[in-house]
Structure 1
Amino acid sequence: MQPLRIIAFTVLLIAALIGFFSGIYQRYRFLRLGQAEQRSDHSEERMKGFFKYVLGQGKVLAEPSGIGHFFIFWGFIILGFGELDFFGFDLFGGHIPGFTQGWFTFTQELFAAFVMVAVIVALIRRYVWRPMRIEPTFEAGFILGLIFIIVATLFLTTGLDAVASGAYTVPAAPMSSLVAYWFSGMSPSVAGNLAQVFFWIHTLSIFGFLVFIPRSKHLHMIGAVFNTYYRNLGPVGKLKTLDLSDETVEEFGVAKVTQLSWKQLLDGYACTECGRCHVSCPATLTGKDLSPKYLILKMKDHLVDQGPSLLKMAAGGEDYTASLPDLVGEVYTEDEIWACTTCRACEEACPVFNEHVSLIVDLRRDLVLTKGSAPGEVNRTFTNLERHSNEWGRPRSARAEWAEGLGIRVMEDVEGAVDYLYYVGTAVSYDPRNQKIAQSFVKLLQKANVDFAILGKEEESDGDSARRLGNEFLYQELVERNVELFKAYGVKKIVTTDPHAFNQFSKEYKDFGLDIEVLHHTQFLAELLKEGRIIPTQRVEKTVTYHDPCYLGRYNGEYDAPRYILEHIPGLTVLEMERSRNKSMCCGAGGGSMFKEETGEKRINVERTEQALETGATTIATACPYCMTMMIDGTKAKGVEEEIDTNDIAELLCMAV
């Protein structure tokens, strides 16, 4: 019978490998339908990321639930080596040298046991506890069940083989020995036959899993490896700059799935469906149509659905893109695409480095630049930026009214260069409440004898709202005017109270020839404190909770400077929100959202305000004028604006100085 067993095994193995590689090759061909994108630079850093995030499961372990995945991941790797010996011994009667050593046998059994426990916990969590971010789908249950069967039949086969051979106890194999103990009363012949039954169940389960991988969500076992290697190593959150110089090009952004890059398509394969992005997204949490999880999954499903016919058309030399339906309308609704605040909470949470925001902005670019389709309030914002270089439509002449009587120099009146240009920004220049931020910051600069000036009525919008809302034409016009202005005045250093401008000038303006030092005002003030140029002496008796702005924190990694300032203000008590630092929740203003109507069950700023109120703080501190507006509106919506103050970091420090 042994030759027949070997033949049967070989036939099944070949069939499984054909099923596996044919599925993988088809998915690979689907990726090649996407657009080219260069992601092969910095190979050494990419390999370091492979060891840290794939083998080390770095981002997976950022959440407690990642521990189970860690053991399943490494359990499968170790079991994979053990399976070679398992099949070799059962079919050919010989062990692979070294694989019978006690340490390897024990390690294999230990991790196999961990896998079983992790699978049981995952099943209970998914189908009993049912947290918001996880769906109790049949496919997920089928895969978990298959993994459980693979491990259980491994123990059953080895344990029953031990009974058949009379070796009931193997110290290095505690689980198999336990199975042998359970069946110790069974006759050797019956145990041997039963072992063969479980051997073939085990074999069919593994081969079935192999065929199922490229056709299921477990494609992420392969996709995540490549997605991690080809992750974005450029500036965090930096958007791709469109080439607008070719006047023959009539379409911009992304309308069809084949207009996405291969890397954007790979995001779909890499998605683990863990839902971490789902429960991090402010739009999802407040009942809007958008979910970053389904943004990626719907794109993948659409690609897989359309892929076979596209490949046939491509083979026949047909224009397969023209026959495709538009993503917005067929796959996504416009409400989904406009609900995003571009806060990057989804990308921060994603364990496999999916890039949701660039996909959304590409879709917005198509809506705005190609189809001319945008909500009315968004179009009004564009009009205001075109005519007045600010989203509110206020006259340029009013841009520096906040500075009257403060003795602030304006660049056009300065002879020679200054050390710092204070770029005020639109939100601070025109909003009466936010103007107090600029006034406090300026007083601190003057106290520290900093040589600075402002642009006054010459100041332009930084263009962030235009770009995030999809109007790349308008954005680049604003950028060109700003760069020309900065160069004309010989600006070497910029400090700004606006994190969005800070992000633009320090990262995205480099594509347009601006490469100068840019500081956020909290970074600058923290340095002045350290140097002793500002000394807070007055007690500020407030209990404060600090709200991290997305474009200062997640986009630029600055979490410490604002907290350093707060810690050095006498009398101040600081309480952290549950969602803080890189897990902070957006205020709802980013991505141009401040200038469009918000849909859904609840306003994002109200949700964030409630999180602040839970700390028991009497003051909400922030470091962004947009966040300031949203948090004040949130306290008004909750009816606590008289009891809860909202202050910028600069205002609190100014009180102490």
Structure 2
Amino acid sequence: MLNTLLPILLFAALALAVLGAVKRFAMWRRGRPSKVDWLGGLLAMPRRYLVDLHHVVERDKYMSKTHVATAGGFVLAALLAIVVHGFGLHSRILGFALLAATALMFTGALFVAKRRLDPPSRLSKGPWMRLPKSLLMFSASFFIATLPVAGILPEGFGGWFVAGLLAIGVAWGVSELFLGMTWGGPMKHAFAGALHLAWHRRAERFGGGRSTGLKALDLTDPTAPLGVEKPTDFTWNQLLGFDACVQCGKCEAVCPAFAAGQPLNPKKLIQDMVIGLAGGNDANFAGSPYPGKPLGEHSGGPHQPIVSLEGKALVDAETLWSCTTCRACVEECPMMIEHVDAIVDMRRHLTLEKGATPNKGAEVLENLIATDNPGGFAPGGRLNWAADLNLPLMSEKKQAEVLFWVGDGAFDMRNQRTLRAFVKILKAANVDFAVLGLEERDSGDVARRLGDEATFQTLAKRNIATLAQYRFKKIVSCDPHSFHVLKNEYGALGGSYDVLHHSTFIDELVKAGSLQLGQSKADSVTYHDPCYLGRYNGEYEAPRNVLKAIGIEVKEMQRSGFRSRCCGGGGGAPITDIPGKQRIPDMRMVDIKETGAELVAVGCPQCTAMLEGVVAPRPEIKDIAELVAEVLIESAEAPAKKSPAKREQAAEVH
């Protein structure tokens, strides 16, 4: 009986799964066109899965081993089951191979079941709670059904009753696993995830690469949408990426806005996009809702606006404006989904089409247009902080080894101390540098994160035109946001440069022996990793190397490096100012105080402003440049640098 039932069940399930795959692919293709390497992506997919994806999964050793056993066992078992039971190739070798595969899968499924006994709050429940049972049923039923093929049990053992039970088990298993991959359910992530890796919108991320710059809008194409209004405005492979979500909640666990009680949960946002693609409401979402937003009140469809300014839609606008664009969600996602891209795409529509940037957003964007800086300060005051420093200007020198990009911290009295400290370092190292002075404009970072692509591109093109007049080897900036946008986002507009963060440049100067440094008197120091330096650009070591060079041993926070908690200052978050139950910088200060450090070393003016905004008592905040400038050995060497004539003259005076 089994020899008759199993092929019918298997091929019926496969046929329905293929039909579902066609239907699902048609859903994704409702999105806008996107160029992909169709064949190359498919050929690269196994490596991307086994290497790049598992590089992220491996951070959780328990789930890594569980996933290898369960997924690996399932793939082998499914293929062998089709060969052995579908096509009837009853070889003892194949039988034992199928037994081994199902045993491996069963072992992995046991660990999945254990994980689900008391799941952490970040994991979605609902249909996901039945998945371990389905995995166990699939592996157990095929294991027993294969025992006769391996010669361990006689053919037809147990009679009709056992055959019927096994057929029920197989039907249960293949329904959940085969049909679920393409028709919907927990296993949907397996099918969508594989193709997402093949046709990822940021293929540069694979093979150890990094891709964090936002994609530019083509503002010259009158038919192209300005941002994303409805689900079908996303590119088709973005929609595919949303469908790949495994609902593990790792993005939720690291999101600073969610932790602060702001109305954002990156996991639910991705699931809302899936709901919008298929049509429906969020009543059946089985995970954590947006803080303060009950389930069941939001709905949408593929051709309906995602955000409505008049009433309820799929997502509320304040959910999008809560994001700090810190990329913690993207860094943690085992399916390599691009949450930040989606959020900024939707912000672009609200800003460019609706003019609906909240709180001080509109004022800041108007300031950028009128004065080339977000604070609305008179552009002529950009170099007031350096009136006594006699800074070399590019307009006079025409060329220099280093172009020092000052940034809009030039208008902030606190950040001016950092800028002056860095100038002191440059001069101490005899670096050939110059600044643009009044020719420098805002880099456009804030405009772009707030969704104003038009203002960003205007600022960027003006800066690129200015930079084209001069010759320099590299640009150095104390601001990770300017550093990132110059390095990673100007290229699409014609401006490709070698750009360094000041901590990286100082590290190079130290290693080259260009700086004479003493030892810092700071006893207890921790270092806060800026998101736009760390997660966006992978620079974690240079700041620590510099601190070590001046005798500082960093007391690391629990959340440091690629898991550093955001200060709350990125993505225009201080401008849109969406309220929550607590402030993100206050949470970061709790992390800092847990180390017992008396001083926090930073490398970003936004981080400095946010952390210094925390109510005292709190540790002192200092930029790395300030700490280095404090220990420069220059005054002690000054007499030795005088010429003999000058020393004789000085002796006569005294």
| Normalised-by-shorter TM-score class | 0.7 to 0.9
CA distance in 1, matches of 2:503, 2:398: 27
CA distance in 1, matches of 2:278, 2:428: 62
CA distance in 2, matches of 1:253, 1:105: 50
Q: Secondary structure at the match of 2:475?
A: strand
Residue matched to 2:621: 646
Residue matched to 1:238: 213
1:370 paired with 2:344, answer no
1:530 paired with 2:528, answer no
| AA in 2 matched with 1:592 | G
CA contact (8 A) 1:579 1:585 kept: yes
TM-score relative to the length of structure 1: 0.86
CA distance in 2, matches of 1:294, 1:566: 40
Shift in CA distance, 512/119, structure 1 to aligned 2, threshold 3 Å: closer
CA contact (8 A) 1:278 1:291 kept: yes
Deviation sequence 1:74-120 (CA, Å, 0-9, x none): 121232244346636xx96x62363256xx46743651342242232
CA distance in 2, matches of 1:149, 1:105: 15
CA distance in 2, matches of 1:371, 1:14: 51
CA distance in 2, matches of 1:351, 1:554: 15
CA distance in 1, matches of 2:39, 2:537: 21
CA contact (8 A) 1:505 1:518 kept: yes
Residue matched to 2:72: 74
CA contact (8 A) 1:61 1:70 kept: no
Deviates more, 1:106-115 or 1:497-506: 106-115
Shift in CA distance, 58/195, structure 1 to aligned 2, threshold 3 Å: farther
Residue matched to 2:134: 146
CA distance in 2, matches of 1:327, 1:461: 31
Residue matched to 1:299: 273
Deviation of the 1:493 alpha carbon: 2.1
Residue matched to 1:184: none
Residue matched to 1:50: 46
Deviation of the 1:191 alpha carbon: 4.2
| AA in 2 matched with 1:583 | R
Residue matched to 2:256: 282
| AA in 2 matched with 1:233 | A
CA distance in 2, matches of 1:492, 1:42: 39
Residue matched to 1:520: 501
Matches within 5 A, 1:457-476: 457-476=438-457
1:422 paired with 2:410, answer no
Residue matched to 2:343: 360
Deviation sequence 1:398-451 (CA, Å, 0-9, x none): 211211222322233x2341211111110x211111111111111011000001
CA contact (8 A) 2:276 2:301 kept: no
Q: Secondary structure at the match of 1:353?
A: coil
Matches within 5 A, 1:65-214: 65-84=63-82, 87=85, 95-96=90-91, 98-100=93-95, 104=97, 107-108=100-101, 110-124=103-117, 128=118, 130-137=119-126, 139-157=127-145, 165=153, 191-192=158-159, 195-209=162-176, 210-214=178-182
Deviation sequence 1:516-535 (CA, Å, 0-9, x none): 22111111100000000013
Q: Secondary structure at the match of 1:557?
A: coil
Shift in CA distance, 437/269, structure 1 to aligned 2, threshold 3 Å: same
Shift in CA distance, 85/458, structure 1 to aligned 2, threshold 3 Å: closer
| AA in 2 matched with 1:37 | S
CA distance in 2, matches of 1:257, 1:377: 28
Identity, in percent, stands at 33
Q: Secondary structure at the match of 2:404?
A: strand
- Flag structure 1 segments of 5+ consecutive residues without an equivalent: 167-187, 308-320
CA distance in 1, matches of 2:224, 2:131: 46
Deviates more, 1:348-357 or 1:69-78: 69-78
| AA in 1 matched with 2:166 | F
CA contact (8 A) 2:76 2:98 kept: no
Deviation sequence 1:246-296 (CA, Å, 0-9, x none): 4x4585111011111001100122111111111111111111111111111
Q: Secondary structure at the match of 2:237?
A: helix
Deviation of the 1:190 alpha carbon: 8.0
| AA in 1 matched with 2:40 | S
Shift in CA distance, 368/416, structure 1 to aligned 2, threshold 3 Å: closer
CA contact (8 A) 1:403 1:439 kept: yes
Residue matched to 1:574: 554
Residue matched to 1:345: 328
Q: Secondary structure at the match of 1:595?
A: helix
Shift in CA distance, 189/485, structure 1 to aligned 2, threshold 3 Å: closer
CA distance in 1, matches of 2:50, 2:453: 36
Residue matched to 1:218: 187
Deviation sequence 1:579-628 (CA, Å, 0-9, x none): 11111111111111132223111111111111111111111111111111
Residue matched to 1:333: 316
Matches within 5 A, 1:584-623: 584-623=564-603
CA contact (8 A) 1:163 1:191 kept: no
Shift in CA distance, 205/417, structure 1 to aligned 2, threshold 3 Å: same
Shift in CA distance, 40/161, structure 1 to aligned 2, threshold 3 Å: closer
Q: Secondary structure at the match of 2:600?
A: strand
Residue matched to 2:640: none
CA distance in 2, matches of 1:165, 1:488: 83
Q: Secondary structure at the match of 1:495?
A: strand
CA contact (8 A) 1:365 1:470 kept: yes
CA contact (8 A) 1:540 1:569 kept: no
Deviates more, 1:583-592 or 1:491-500: 491-500
Residue matched to 2:197: 228
| AA in 1 matched with 2:407 | G
Deviation sequence 1:41-68 (CA, Å, 0-9, x none): 8938x85563243477332222233332
Q: Secondary structure at the match of 2:431?
A: coil
Shift in CA distance, 254/105, structure 1 to aligned 2, threshold 3 Å: closer
Shift in CA distance, 37/190, structure 1 to aligned 2, threshold 3 Å: closer
CA contact (8 A) 1:227 1:267 kept: yes
Q: Secondary structure at the match of 1:361?
A: helix
Shift in CA distance, 201/393, structure 1 to aligned 2, threshold 3 Å: same
CA distance in 2, matches of 1:553, 1:195: 58
Deviates more, 1:440-449 or 1:597-606: 597-606
CA distance in 1, matches of 2:424, 2:3: 84
Deviation of the 1:656 alpha carbon: 2.1
CA distance in 1, matches of 2:325, 2:339: 9
| Number of residue pairs matched by the alignment | 600
Deviation of the 1:335 alpha carbon: 0.5
CA distance in 2, matches of 1:326, 1:435: 44
Residue matched to 1:260: 234
Shift in CA distance, 496/42, structure 1 to aligned 2, threshold 3 Å: farther
CA distance in 1, matches of 2:39, 2:433: 39
Residue matched to 2:412: 431
Residue matched to 1:545: 526
Shift in CA distance, 85/27, structure 1 to aligned 2, threshold 3 Å: closer
CA contact (8 A) 1:390 1:460 kept: yes
Deviation of the 1:324 alpha carbon: 2.5
CA distance in 1, matches of 2:149, 2:458: 76
